[in-house]
Amino acid sequence: MQPPLPAPELLFGGGRRAGSDESMERRTPWPRTVMMLPTLVFFAAFVVIPMAMAVYYSFLRWNGIGQPQWTGGANWAMVFHDPQALHAMWLTLAITVLSWVIQTPLSLWIGVFLAGRQRYKNVFGILYFTPLLFSAAAIGITWSYILNPNFGLVLSLLKALGFPADSANILGNPRWALFTVACVVSWQFIPFHSLLYQSGSRQIPETLYEAAKIDGAGPWRMFFSITLPQLKYTVITSTVLILTGSLTYFDLIYVLTGGGPGDATNVLAMDMYKQAFVNQNVGYGSVLAVILAVVGVGLSLVMLRLTGYNRMDSQLEGV
């Protein structure tokens, strides 16, 4: 009988191999820093430096062409006394809430459905993810034709249902314009969040569902007791992306309504554009840009703090 081979530690001497863990730990930071340099340079060039310039411009009176004048905190004081800016902040909050209310349940349902074993789910998946192929400008133009009160598809549907022709002017109605914009924005981004939920659902162990079936649990009970708790961090990630993304809705709203009718869809990002480039008040527009950035970062930090997502607790704990 052949004697057993000695342990690798005895063959190479000592309790550690050549190139011990301590030496690896000492050598790791330098290559890691080198690998991070391109990302850091990109982040500094396109995020940190522009943001610092926006903060600097917020203290100036400048039309973007002539000689800027230092005004101190005059632009900042003006924001809190400007009814248009306060109204834009309120509209931004409203479209943020509407976007989350519309996108989250639909994205969750579609993602969980596509992660299952239903027939024809691949065909449905292609249809659901079609909006991801188009730009915001293309989507805005398409929906502007669909919602056109003179010849749009909505007009034909409302006429077929017996509604008056005046009711087809949805984008021209201040009461419905913001909700309509939120629906179009949700139509654009639901496929992306559905991908997140689909990926998260596929990582849930089948043993959990098998044990639930043995205990007599039905589909709804399994969804609320297994699927939804296991998708906790996916929901948090999707929520952070929806909330922060809602603060910067501009291109689709610009193409679809231009901030109208009146100022019914003039969200803060749209107001920032108008102040900086239409009214040529770069300083005041920079104030609105800084507010958007600060609120977005603060909202993300608060969400991560309250939900405990930064602790990265295992979703499979107890499995």
This prediction has a pTM of: 0.82
Name the one residue in this structure whose structure tokens are 């349902």: 109
User: What CATH code would you report for 90-267?
Assistant: 1.10.3720.10
Nearest Cα neighbor of 178 from 102, 112, 286, 94 is 94
SS (H, E, C) 271-287: HHHHHHHHCCCHHHHHH
CA distance 206 to 186: 31
- Across the range 271-282, mean pLDDT stands at 93
Phi and psi torsions of 20, nearest 5°: -65, 170
DSSP 260: -
Query: Could you report the per-residue pLDDT of 290-314, keeping only the tens digit for each?
Result: 999 999 989 888 887 877 655 444 4
Q: What 3-state class would DSSP assign to 69?
A: strand
Residue pair 105/185 in contact (Cβ under 8 Å)? The answer is no
Report the pLDDT value the prediction gives residue 164, as an integer from 0 to 100.
Answer: 77
Query: Could you report the per-residue pLDDT of 161-189, keeping only the tens digit for each?
Result: 877 777 778 888 898 999 999 999 999 99
CA distance 53 to 130: 38
Strand pairing of 69-70 and 60-61? Answer: antiparallel
Query: Could you report the per-residue pLDDT of 93-132, keeping only the tens digit for each?
Result: 999 999 999 999 999 999 998 888 777 777 777 888 888 8
The number of residues making up the chain comes to 319
